[in-house]
Every structure is written in C-alpha cells, then in structure tokens.
Amino acid sequence: MKKTKNILATAALSIGLLLPGTLTFAQGNSYSISKPADSIRPFKIHFSDAALKDLKKRVQATKWPQKETVTDATQGVQLSTIQKLAKYWTTQYDWRKAEAKLNSYPNFITNIDGLDIHFIHVRSKHPNALPIILTHGWPGSIIEELKIIDPLTNPTAYGGKAEDAFDVIIPSLPGYGFSEQPKTTGWDPTRIAHAWITLMKRLGYKRYVAQGGDWGDAVTEQMAVIAPAALAGIHTNMPSAVPAEISGALWSRQAAPDSLNADEKRAYEQLDFFFKHGLAYAQEMGNKPQTLYGIEDSPVGLASWILDHDIRSYELITRTFDGVPEGITKDDVLDNITLYWLTNTAVSSARLYWENKLIFFQPMNVKIPVAVSAYPDELYQAPKSWVEKAFPNLIHYNRLPKGGHFAAWEQPASFSQEIRTAFKSLR
C-alpha cells in the first residue's frame, strides 16, 4: 500500500500542483492520503515544468488588438503596458523564485466546513507573541502579505521590540490560490469569517487579532461581529465606514454635499470616481462570473483583468513596467498573476463577488476595538469623522502619506509599523 501511495504522489507532482486535500507532503519522500477531518497537514507548492512552458507558449501566442485610440488609460489597460508585461513574463520572469519564497514559510492545509483551506502559519521566536490572522482580497492573494511576515514575527530585526511580535496566519480565501474551490454556493464573506474563527481555534488560539483590506476587510469585520469574545481587536486599511447618507448620494450620482469637510470631500470624490469608472469588473463578477472564460484561458487576458482594478494601482504598475520602481517590482506583479494562472482560480475567485450579500463600504456595527490606517491612494482615504462614527471603539487612526490599495505589498515598512502601533494597547 505504501508503494502505491508513493506512486500516486509522484504522479501528482509530475503534473504540477500537490492538489489540496488529495495528497499531503510529509518528511522525506513519503506521502499520506489519510486525513482526519480536523487534521492540519503540511503542504508543499510545486508546479511542473510543463505547466510553466505552457504558460510561456500561451503568452507568446497572444492575439493582440489594435492600440487604443486615446493617449491615456480611459479605454482600459494600454497596449504598451500589457505588451511590456508580456515580454518580461516570457523573457526574464522566473516563477521558481516565487515558489521558493512561498515554500520558505510553513504552509498547511486543513478542512473546514467541508472545504480544504490553505494557510501560512509562522510562529514568532519571541515569547507572548500576539496571534494575527491576515486576510487578502481580490485581485490579491497571499503574495501581497509575504513582505510583512518577517517584520511582524521578528520585529527586533526591523526596528521594533520583542514585545511587538506576532504569530502570523495568512489563509487563502476559498477559491483563491491553494484553497479548494467551492463546488456549491454559500461561501460569502460571513461564512469565510466563520471558517477563519474555526481555523484560529484549531490552531489553539483563544485570543487573537485580525487584519484585512478589500475582501479581507469584509471577512475581518464579520469576524469581529461573530466572535467578539475571541478577537481582541481588528485592523483595516479599507474600512467599511461610509455613512448611509453619503452612500445614497453616491449611488444616485449626486454632487458632494456642501456640508463635507476637506477630508470628507476628497473621500467622496474618490468614491464617486470609483463608482463611475472602476466598478465594471465588480459588476461583471457579481452578476456573471462564469462568463469570464477568457481570463481562465488567456494569461494576458487574466493579467489585463487584474491590472485594471483601480486607477491608482494601475498607475503604480505602469510606472513599474516603465522602469520606475515604486513600492512593487515587476516580479511582484507577475508573482501574483502567475499564482492565479497556475492554480486556475480566475473564475472561482470571481464568484466571491456573486456570493457577497454585504454592501460595499457600509458599516457593519463592529463594537470591539478597531484600528484604521488610511492610505491616500486607497479606493477612498477614510476620513476620521466617518471612521469614528462607524467604529465606536476606535483605538487607532492614522492618515499615511504614501500607499494605496495593496498597502502591505506596496509599503510593508509603514504597514508593519501601523499594525504594531494599532495593537500595542491590546497586548
């Protein structure tokens, strides 16, 4: 029987990924198929050379459209930008470096509510480290959180103190990365929040904190509502804090109310721009995610769909491929896109928009301690007045001078410091 298991495992490795929930990587060259329902199994990431060659071949075979008829990005991702990305993807980019980075951290799989969930779990060497669960969003992944693992778990090496240390848990959302793709409906942010609460309990943590932006905010705030006794507090860089009257004005396409102060007016203008020009992807994924076969079949199609998330992130990425590094590198961008491609999660990740029942940016009645870091190039830089109204137990608020939607990825130093400061009073 052992010989048979090893043959099966070798076959799985030869085609690329160790399939979540099917085979478990163990010490040496042995593999085990047995898996108790609540077991936590080590996980190794590996894709075959054939999968990487196929990716390169598909990028090189891209059927390009004509150049846009404008000189800016008002018609979408510009041809010159995506062609620079494609050229780098096929001539210089090396996925194996990303794979090695991911495997340098302890990766695990566990089954929760019938679904195999992947997560990274790094324990600090410092005593009394505070457990923190970090949740990514779309079109992000665990890739966007990697730069803050070391600063949080080993703060003394990054200008912090031993008492600032965290144990870090980073799960992949269902249908994203290495987590299993749901085969039935119902996996919305609230159900994911329940799963994360189960995960933390399974890891032995009775008291912990949570952080998230984008979908990560929705999941994190729902955790705060569901399990206030377990969560000491939460931190978010994209809070659900837009007052109802402001949301109503935005959806009805009204001009900014005269009563707004300068910070509120700027936030209103940011949201107004996003609702008018940046919601197309969310509307399509929220209504017909299964229609997006093109981004599952074309790497360049997937890349352009991911790049066109919000205008500030797009400008950041464009500068990067124009040779002006700003927070993220070309490899950073392609690590994330390649992860989506190799795991075949373009459509499964999009379904989260279809599943969601929450209203974007609407307060969720969170009562526990909340910390907010407001970055200037986020979808909106949340004004303190709105945040104070949404979170009656606000313990930290800071307006940062630099950073956008992928703050942990773009500005890991300031982001790590924000998390340390945010939760200092809760230790």
State the CB neighbour count (10 A cutoff) for residue 8: 14
Range in 16-25, 132-141, 190-199, 231-240 the model is least confident about: 16-25
- Sequence-distant (6+) residues with CB within 8 A of 2 are 30
More confident residue, 10 or 388: 388
Tokens of 153: 């778990």
Its pTM stands at: 0.91
What burial class does residue 353 get, using C-beta atoms within 10 Å of its C-beta: 0-12 exposed, 13-18 middle, 19+ buried? Answer: middle
Predicted confidence at residue 35, as pLDDT, reads 60
**What pLDDT does residue 338 have?**
98
Question: CB under 8 Å to 114, separation ≥6 — which residues?
Answer: none
> pLDDT band at residue 349, thresholds of 50, 70 and 90?
very high
- Convert the pLDDT of each residue in 149-181 to its tens digit: 999 999 999 999 999 999 999 999 999 999 999
Q: How far is Cα 16 from Cα 264, in angstroms, rounded to an integer?
A: 49
Task: Please give the biggest Cα pair distance in the chain.
Answer: 74
Higher pLDDT, 3 or 107: 107
Interatomic CA distance for residues 143 and 60, integer angstroms = 25
Q: Residue 26: what pLDDT?
A: 29
CA 24, CA 35: separation in Å to the nearest integer? Answer: 9
Mean pLDDT of the 341-365 span: 97
- The pLDDT mean for the chain works out to 91
pLDDT, tens digit, 9 for 90 and up, residues 66-111: 999 999 999 999 999 999 999 999 999 999 999 999 999 999 999 9
Residue indicated by tokens 């080993």: 154
pLDDT of 198 higher than 80: yes
Integer-rounded Cα Rg, in Å, for the chain is 21
User: Which residue, 424, 408, 423, 392, is CA-closest to 209?
Assistant: 423
Q: CB of 2 within 8 A of CB of 33?
A: no
Extract the tokens encoding 132: 């923190």
Res 7: pLDDT? 32
Report which of residues 325 and 364 the model is more confident about.
Answer: 364
The reported pLDDT for the residue numbered 14 is 31
Q: What is the 3-state secondary structure (H, E, C) of the chain?
A: CHHHHHHHHHHHHHHCCCCCCCCEECCCCCEECCCCCCCEEECCCCCCHHHHHHHHHHHHCCCCCCCCCCCCCCCCCCHHHHHHHHHHHHHCCCHHHHHHHHHCCCEEEEEECCEEEEEEEECCCCCCCEEEEEECCCCCCHHHHHHHHHHHHCHHHHCCCHHHCEEEEEECCCCCCCCCCCCCCCCCHHHHHHHHHHHHHHCCCCCEEEEECCHHHHHHHHHHHHCCCCEEEEEECCCCCCCHHHHHHHHCCCCCCCCCCHHHHHHHHHHHHHHHHCCHHHHHHHHCHHHCHHHHHCHHHHHHHHHCCCHHHHHHHHHHHCCCCECECHHHHHHHHHHHHHCCCHHHHHHHHHHCCCCCCCCCCCCCCEEEEECCECCCCCCHHHHHHHCCCEEEEEECCCCECCHHHHCHHHHHHHHHHHHHHHC
Q: Is the pLDDT of residue 324 over 70?
A: yes
Q: Which of 11-25, 166-180, 275-289 is the least confident region? A: 11-25
In the predicted structure, residue 328 carries a pLDDT above the cut 60:
yes
**Contact, 185 vs 212, CB < 8 A?**
no
Q: How confident is the model at residue 237 (pLDDT cuts 50, 70, 90)?
A: very high
Classify domain 49-241+278-427 by CATH number. Answer: 3.40.50.1820
pLDDT higher than 60, residue 21? no
- pLDDT confidence tier of residue 230, bands split at 50, 70 and 90: very high
Per-residue pLDDT of 130-141, as tens digits, reads 999 999 999 999
Cis preceding-peptide flag for 401 (omega within 30 of 0): no
pLDDT score of 34 more than 70:
no
pLDDT recorded at residue 306? 97
Distance of alpha carbon 138 from alpha carbon 323, whole angstroms: 25
Task: Report, as residue numbers or ranges, the catalytic residues.
Answer: 214, 353, 405
Task: For the chain, give the percent of residues with pLDDT over 90.
Answer: 86
